[in-house]
Amino acid sequence: NKPSARQRDLAISRVIDHLNGARSSPLKMAKLCEVARVSERTLQYAFNARYGMSPYRFAIQWRLNSARRELRCASRAGHSIAEVALRYGFDNPSLFAQRYRELFSELPSETLVRPDGR
């Protein structure tokens, strides 16, 4: 029985709510499926249909974008890159920097020191 568009939308919404509330918890597909209350296949289909990517990749990009927003004002708040990375579940600073650069074409340190906050 194929899940309805409404069920897939609810699953995506639940995952996004989870990402906002548990930003530093490890990303596990089983946990995302549990939160979404759907099978892995349904969750994969829902995210691929809406965003063109897997739920895991979406979650990584969601966290990186959240970290970027925080880094833009981190120097004023006195936060370091490592603190921001840990807050969003990246416990390996070099992997965080690598993924950050792949997505934004700059290092986290470049975002942190930019005076215009963009």
Q: pLDDT 10s digit of each residue in the chain, 118 long?
A: 677 889 999 999 999 999 988 888 888 999 999 999 999 999 999 999 999 999 999 999 999 999 999 898 866 667 788 989 999 999 999 999 999 999 999 999 998 876 554 5
CA atoms within 13 A on the CB side of 63: 26
Q: Judge whether 108 and 81 are in contact, CB under 8 Å.
A: yes
- AA identity, residue 69: R
Counting Cα atoms < 13 Å in the Cβ hemisphere of 90 gives 26
Contact 26, 91 (CB under 8 A): no
Is the pTM higher than 0.95? The answer reads no
